[in-house]
Amino acid sequence: MGKLDLRLYLVADMQADHSHDALFHQVIAAVVGGVTVVQLRAKNLSGRPFYELALALKQRLDVLSVPLIINDRLDIAMAVDAAGVHVGQDDLPVPVIRRLWAPDKIVGVSTHSVAEAKTAVAQQADYLGAGAMFATSTKDNTTALALRDLTAIVAAAPIPVVAIGGINADNAAVVMTSGCAGVAVSSAVMGADDARAAALAIKRSLLV
């Protein structure tokens, strides 16, 4: 996975009623504020619009030397030559992704238990996303993961773990006590009036 910095991982969730310009503005402002990795999630977009969005975003992020991860859609990740892809438990298995894509590409996997984490590690995932830690507006029907469970996942995984779900400047420092490599944020930054300031506040909280 090289030197991928997972400390402040932004999930840019593109909704059907959002404009590309609005998403770009928030993402770039967040990167200026300290975001180190960007994942593009666009569950409501079909192939062509998702491809065009991802390509345009990657071109902007390349200038800033920030890697782009694509949520779920391996075809889009391959088409735009993204840094990697992030998959859930019901998405393409890691071994299939490895067979289809270049071996140097990053593969992240969402996990909710030690058992899922061990499976992802055995399948050669590069990092894990663990959560949801707190209630979140970006996903429905999520069950909160206790801090002790996150700590257990971190202890069981020899690869980096990123905590996700409802994380903001007020709770990020507590989450980091688990030993995780970083935190993934979405609405706390993407929904902020000032995305740069929101990202900076979370980044500063990680140093406490």
Residue positions annotated with a catalytic role: 41, 110, 139
d(CA 92, CA 121): 15
Q: How many whole angstroms separate alpha carbon 192 and alpha carbon 187?
A: 7
What SS3 state is found at 84? strand
Handedness of CA 136, 138, 142, 144 (dihedral sign): negative
Contact 72, 85 (CB under 8 A): yes
Provide the token pair at 71. Answer: 């949520």
How many Å apart are CA 188 and CA 201, to the nearest integer? 10
Q: What are phi and psi of 177, to 5 degrees?
A: -65, -10
Q: Hey, which bits of 77-198 come out as E strands?
A: 84-87, 106-111, 127-131, 161-164, 182-185
Take residue 83 and report the two structure tokens written for it: 């840094």
